[in-house]
Structure 1
Amino acid sequence: MVNVAPELVQGGARLQLLRGRLWIWVRGRLWLQVVAGLVLGVAVGVLLGPGLALVPRDLAAIIGEWLAVPGAIFLGLIAMVLVPLVLVSIIQGLTGTPDSAALRQTGFRFAIFVVATTALAAIVGIWLAVELRPGSYVDLGAIATDGTVSPGSAGTVPRRAPELIANLIPSNPAKAITEHDMLAIVVLAVLTGIACRQANPARVGSFLRFLDGLLEVAMTIVRWAMFLAPWAVFGLMARLVSQVGIATVAGMAVYVLAVLAGLILLLALYLVLVAIMARQSPWTFLKAIGSVQLLAFSTSSSAAVMPVSMQTAVAGLGVPQNLAGVVIPLGATVNMAGTALYQAVAVVFLAQMSGVALSPAEYGVIVATLVVSSIGAPGTPGVSIVILANIVGDFGIPSAGLVLILGVDRILDMARTVVNVTGDLAACVVLSALQSPAADEDRADRQPEAGEESPGS
């Protein structure tokens, strides 16, 4: 019989106890599981990436695709319930508010919030790009180009506005739903909700009860998806880093710095609004939404995390269900201040790199264009590049530099999605605080009990 030293036995017991306590602590905190998935995903991506060259590129690509399978399943589950969730949430939010005046006031305040923060974000982006001059660090001559200008529809805001307004009404709702045209779906839901408010309650009651059941089914599927969230983040990050490498942003460091600095300033603005207007600690707010931010970072999609954002707004931040049901879906479609800031920096960057001088008046038109373009932009990865290509064409800026932006767009897309989602949740908290005292009591009732874990904790 082998004698084991008592010190080793005690050490093993302590290690086992520590592992048990650590598992209990991690198991109840989704945000910590997501952080672990994020860190491990980056580490695995570095090992598979081109920098270390430990694995042949073909094999690394295959491994990356397999690692991303949980992420694909997670996004598929969310996409499956996204359209019914948007429709039901907005309709219930509109019909669940008995005070029509309060509903109109909330809508007006949200519109002001979106336009003001988006315009301010675009202005900050232009200011940072003008001050840091990221375009002066890149030589456009090193890029193969025929001097052409990216295709853009002539005429910017004034000539686009009538077409934009005319296209707001979804003439074919079935097409809008099957194509996931989020702006058309939001308009359809708003019109349906208003119609339900004005219709005979006895006749629309069964329809609204059906929506209650549909929402419960959708949220159950969302809860299933959340079990996959840490694995989804791990796989998506591992594949991304293995494809692009950590050093991808090195050649565009000043441009990346300008965008990230602007996004940090915009994030700080949201925290200030939460602290001043909602009288809530910024730290408490960030702690509640941590897992949502991490999911937004890994998926690069405001729409993909919208169900989780709604759950966090109600359970983690104490926002009334009817308010969150309207603001979060609308915000995922129209509240894109982070995207506007990114595009402002990118437009000025491309102009500087191409030697195109922009006047103060043109900067003003850029701000207006970005506000209009950002509102209604789909909250899915890569869409902002398409919008950006259209905008630079309007100002006669060559499109050759877009290839450089594409190289770092995925990483910056992840960062600005975090800010966009944070803006949606900040709007929920601020608008909830500005509601009537009755709504404030409802909000207090929905705050988590001491020791209760919210989805973002």
Structure 2
Amino acid sequence: MSDTPAEAAPAPPRSLPALRKHLFTLIRQRLWLQVLIGMALGVGFGVLIGPTSGLLAADLATLVGNWVALPGRLFLLAIQFVVVPLVVASVIRGIAAGEAGSDLGRLGARAVAFFMISTLLAVALGVGAATLIRPGAFVDTAAVDRALGEGAGAVAAAPARPPTIDALPDMIVGLFPTDPLSTFVSGNMLQIVIAAAIIGLALVMTPADQRRPLLDLLASIQAACMVIVGWVLRFAPLAVFGLLANITSRIGLSALIGTGMYLVTVLVGLGMLMLCYLLTARILAGRRMGRFLADTRDVMLLAFSTSSSAAVMPLTLSTVEKRLDVRPAVARFVVPLGTTINMAGTALYQGVATVFLAQVFGVELGVGGILLLTAMATGAAIGSPGTPGVGIVILATILASVGIPPAGIAIILGVDRVLDMCRTVVNVTGDMVACVTIDRMMPEETAAEPAAVPPPPGA
């Protein structure tokens, strides 16, 4: 369907100035196209100043890269500035204003079940892909041993133990907030979602005339946050350019050569997981794949550029409500929850990385090791924050637990940011597929819906 009114098609521009004006108009109207251009220019500029070209000295390239990345870093800070108030307002209004108290149990159970199943599937796909492709066979293990030194194998002799059953009560208690105010400023997204859900449930049991002022205040907070998001998104292409230029200037294209098969294995696994998500949306929610991808491309491109599902959460929420037509009562509960606990792409990556490094160091995982890997990758992914680079930190714990030297992370560190960008796209896609699927499964009476969150300008 055309975006313009039905009228005679204008003649194609013939002069160069007219063509340039037509192109600039096209770009200004499409955020995703601006982001794509920023990505391409950022990678090109990063290659130009990075180690691949050798045009600049290493110190100077780092200095230039840091300055170029400044808009991107400010962009991420600006988004993080509104994430907590937007999550709190969205979760509370999604529960209380939607009058979904009677269906909240089913909504939460289905959301958690969806994320758990998708995470387990992701780990299985990652381990299976790494076992079949065997990317570790393409690495010179002798060179790795020389590079990492004799201390690399020390950890393998004494693997760490997973949490014992007597420690689980303390872990569960630690999930619940003790003080709402300190929780909201702590940045612990899981505790923030739980605290907001408790307040939302309490408001459901409160008389309508008493909860209305607070809900109106939260609605105003939502609207103000989305205005700020609209301002920030106007600078997204510049931020994307800076972030990718900085990354490329530091790792260079040559860093991909030594771990090329590992990179391919992770991408194959992520591709299979993405296909599973799209098939789920098609079969369970009746969403055509092409249409779904077209409606969500802005979110996916921004997720790829920022490597942070938390940073794109406001745009994800707006897209789910406005373009995918998911009821606000469902979207405002599932999206913040998914941003917090749905890290299926990260779990898949950790499965591939663990098997890959086990092959490199000659560690036999066995059935017990695979089961431990699956449990730890699933639990760690659910508990990890949606911020850039967190996967590599969690991976070190998993490696030590199955007897693989964490020093081996140095082998894959060069391409981790590239894979971080890819797995963030899959994580965010999982959040949106969960929304459309659960929305289709929930009864219509779930929503005496609140007013929708206004879309960010230009999104």
- With the length of structure 1 as denominator, give the TM-score of the two structures: 0.90
Q: Does 1:262 align with 2:269?
A: yes
Q: Which whole-Å deviations, capped at 9, do the CAs of 1:27-58 have from their partners, x for residues lacking one? A: 11110111111111111111111111122333
Q: 1:172 to 1:154 in 2, by over 3 A?
A: farther
| Whole-angstrom distance in 1 between the partners of 2:269 and 2:300 | 17
Q: Which whole-Å deviations, capped at 9, do the CAs of 1:53-94 have from their partners, x for residues lacking one? A: 122333322222222222122112111111111111111111
Q: Identity of paired residues, percent?
A: 41
User: Bigger CA drift: 131-140 or 372-381?
Assistant: 131-140
Report the equivalent of 2:121: 120
1:219 to 226, 230, 248: 226
Q: 1:71 to 1:348 in 2, by over 3 A?
A: same
**8 A Cα contact 1:149 1:393, kept in partner:** yes
Report the equivalent of 1:75: 76
Q: Does 1:192 align with 2:199?
A: yes
- Partner of 1:318, secondary structure, is coil
Report the equivalent of 1:132: 133
Report the equivalent of 1:178: 185
Q: 1:374, CA displacement in angstroms?
A: 1.0
Q: 1:133 to 1:13 in 2, by over 3 A?
A: closer
User: Bigger CA drift: 427-436 or 276-285?
Assistant: 427-436
Q: 1:290 to 1:157 in 2, by over 3 A?
A: farther
Q: Does 1:141 align with 2:145?
A: yes
- Partner of 1:171, secondary structure, is coil
Q: Does 1:376 align with 2:376?
A: no
Q: 1:160, CA displacement in angstroms?
A: 5.2
- Partner of 2:154, secondary structure, is coil
**8 A Cα contact 2:38 2:238, kept in partner:** yes
Report the equivalent of 2:441: 434
**8 A Cα contact 2:65 2:249, kept in partner:** yes
**8 A Cα contact 1:316 1:455, kept in partner:** no
Report the equivalent of 2:7: none
**8 A Cα contact 2:35 2:236, kept in partner:** yes
Q: 1:203, CA displacement in angstroms?
A: 2.5
Q: 1:439, CA displacement in angstroms?
A: 6.8
Q: Which whole-Å deviations, capped at 9, do the CAs of 1:263-320 have from their partners, x for residues lacking one? A: 0000001110111111111111111111211111111111111111111111121112
**8 A Cα contact 1:90 1:189, kept in partner:** yes
Q: 2:192 is matched by which residue type in structure 1?
A: I
Q: 1:12, CA displacement in angstroms?
A: 10
User: Bigger CA drift: 401-410 or 330-339?
Assistant: 401-410
Q: 1:389 to 1:159 in 2, by over 3 A?
A: farther
1:345 to 352, 355, 367: 352
| Whole-angstrom distance in 2 between the partners of 1:124 and 1:223 | 37
Q: 1:339 to 1:241 in 2, by over 3 A?
A: same
CA RMSD of aligned residues (A): 2.6
Q: 2:415 is matched by which residue type in structure 1?
A: V
2:301 to 294, 302, 322: 294
Q: 1:455, CA displacement in angstroms?
A: 6.6
| Whole-angstrom distance in 1 between the partners of 2:173 and 2:35 | 42
Q: 1:87 to 1:356 in 2, by over 3 A?
A: same
Q: 1:437 to 1:190 in 2, by over 3 A?
A: closer
| Whole-angstrom distance in 1 between the partners of 2:381 and 2:289 | 26
**8 A Cα contact 2:354 2:399, kept in partner:** yes
- Partner of 1:75, secondary structure, is helix
**8 A Cα contact 1:296 1:417, kept in partner:** yes
Q: 1:324, CA displacement in angstroms?
A: 1.3
| Whole-angstrom distance in 2 between the partners of 1:312 and 1:23 | 24
Q: 1:13, CA displacement in angstroms?
A: 6.1
- Partner of 1:37, secondary structure, is helix
**8 A Cα contact 1:342 1:416, kept in partner:** yes
| Whole-angstrom distance in 1 between the partners of 2:446 and 2:349 | 36
Q: 1:86 to 1:66 in 2, by over 3 A?
A: same
Report the equivalent of 1:100: 101
- Partner of 1:301, secondary structure, is coil
| Whole-angstrom distance in 2 between the partners of 1:319 and 1:25 | 28
**8 A Cα contact 1:183 1:333, kept in partner:** yes
| Whole-angstrom distance in 2 between the partners of 1:289 and 1:398 | 39
Q: 1:160 to 1:21 in 2, by over 3 A?
A: farther
- The runs of at least 4 consecutive aligned structure 1 residues that moved more than 6 Å come to 439-443, 452-456
**8 A Cα contact 2:97 2:215, kept in partner:** no
Q: 2:154 is matched by which residue type in structure 1?
A: T
User: Bigger CA drift: 333-342 or 376-385?
Assistant: 376-385
Q: 1:455 to 1:167 in 2, by over 3 A?
A: farther
2:211 to 204, 212, 216: 204
Structure 2 unaligned residues grouped into runs of 5+: 1-11
Q: 1:149 is matched by which residue type in structure 2?
A: V
Report the equivalent of 1:4: none
**8 A Cα contact 1:64 1:242, kept in partner:** yes
User: Bigger CA drift: 265-274 or 310-319?
Assistant: 310-319
Q: Which whole-Å deviations, capped at 9, do the CAs of 1:315-357 have from their partners, x for residues lacking one? A: 1211122221111111111011001100011111122222211
Report the equivalent of 1:8: none
Q: 1:454 to 1:73 in 2, by over 3 A?
A: closer
Report the equivalent of 2:421: 414
Q: 1:323 is matched by which residue type in structure 2?
A: V
Q: 1:19 is matched by which residue type in structure 2?
A: R
**Within-5 A mapping of 1:220-299:** 220-299=227-306
| Whole-angstrom distance in 1 between the partners of 2:227 and 2:350 | 37
| Whole-angstrom distance in 1 between the partners of 2:427 and 2:444 | 28
